[in-house]
Amino acid sequence: MTKVKNRIRRLRFDHDEMTQQELANRAGCTRQTIIALEQGKYVPSIELAFGIAKAFGVTLEEVFQYEEST
Amino acid sequence: MAPLQKRALYGLAFGVVWAVAIIVVFIVKGGVSTFSEDQGFRLIIDGLWVGGLIFYGILMLTLRKQSQVDERDRLILGRAPVVQLWAVIFSLVIWTIVLTESYWDQGIPPIFMYLVFMSTLIVSAVAQSIGILIGYWRMGRND
Domains of chain A and any CATH numbers: 4-57 (1.10.260.40)
Q: Å from B80 to nearest chain A CA? A: 18
Chain A contact set for B71 (CB, 8 A): 29, 33, 44-45, 47-48
Non-local (6+) Cβ contacts of B29 within 8 A are: B35, B38, B41, B44
Residue B101 has a pLDDT of 92
Residue B35 has a pLDDT of 84
**What stretches in chain A show pLDDT beneath 50?**
none
Query: If we measure between CA atoms, which residue out of A11, A8, A5 comes closest to residue A69?
Result: A5
Grade residue B58 by pLDDT with cuts at 50, 70 and 90: confident
Average pLDDT, chain B: 88
CB-count burial class (<10 Å; 0-12, 13-18, 19+) for A33 = buried
- Given a contact cutoff of 8 angstroms between Cβ atoms, the answer to whether A31 and A57 are in contact is no
Q: Å from B136 to nearest chain A CA? A: 10
